[in-house]
Amino acid sequence: MKINKAYKFRLYPNRKQEELINKTIGSSRFIYNYILRRKTNEEIVKKIIESHDIIVSENLQVNKMIEKENKSLRKLIINSTMSDIIRRIKYKCDWENKEYYQVDRYYASSQICSRCGKIKKDMKDINKREYECDNCGLKMDRDLNASINIMTEGLFKEYRYE
C-alpha cells in the first residue's frame, strides 16, 4: 500500500538567496516559453506547408516598424516570431519542392486596389482600417486588400515568362 504525504513549509531566504531563486525561476520560465513558441511555430509551418503549393509572404522591416508604431503594437511586434516562421517556411519549401516567394518590402500592398489597381496614397496611415477605392468603389478591410495584392504579386512572379 502506497501512502502519499505532503509537507507544507515556508522559506525565509536572505537577499542573495532571493536573487538566486528569481534568476532560476525567471530563466526556467524563459526556456519554457521559448520551447512552447518553437513548438507552436512548427505546428503553424506544418499546416501552411501541407495545405499550399505556392506560398507568398511580405518582406517587412521589423526594426523600422518598432521605431514608428505605437507602444502596444511595438510590444506585439517584438514578441512575434515571424522571422522564425518565415525561416522555417523557406527551409520546408526547399525540402518539399514547393514554391516560396517574398514580395519586396517597398511593394505598396495596402495602397493598391485589388480590383482595379489604382494606387491610393493616403492609406499610409495605419489607423485607417477600411480600404475604399475612389475609382471602382471597392470597400474592404485594409489587411484583406493587402493580402490579395501580395498573393497576386507572388503569382505574377510564379508565372512570369523570362
State the DSSP H helix or E strand holding residue 55, giving kind and residue range, or none if neither: strand 54-58
**pLDDT average, residue stretch 40-69:** 81
Give the pTM.
Answer: 0.65
Top-confidence residue, 89 or 39: 89
**pLDDT average, residue stretch 134-148:** 89
pLDDT in tens, 62-92: 666 666 656 666 666 665 677 788 888 999 9
Distance CA 100, CA 154 (A): 9
Q: Assess whether pLDDT exceeds 90 at residue 135.
A: no
What mean pLDDT value characterizes the chain? 81
- Of these ranges, 10-19, 30-39, 59-68, 97-106, the one predicted with the greatest mean pLDDT is 97-106
DSSP 3-state assignment of 29?
Answer: helix
CA distance to 79, 101, 128, per residue, from 94 (Å): 27, 12, 37
* Backbone φ, ψ for residue 17 (5° rounding): -65, -40
Q: Assess whether pLDDT exceeds 80 at residue 159.
A: no
Distance CA 50, CA 1 (A): 51
Write the DSSP assignment of 93-156 as a string of letters. HHHTT-EEEEE-TT--TTTB-TTT--B-GGGG-TT--EEE-TTT--EEEHHHHHHHHHHHHHHH
C-alpha cell recorded at residue 14: 536572505
CA distance to 46, 47, 58, 123, 134, per residue, from 51 (Å): 9, 6, 19, 32, 36
Distance CA 151, CA 145 (A): 10
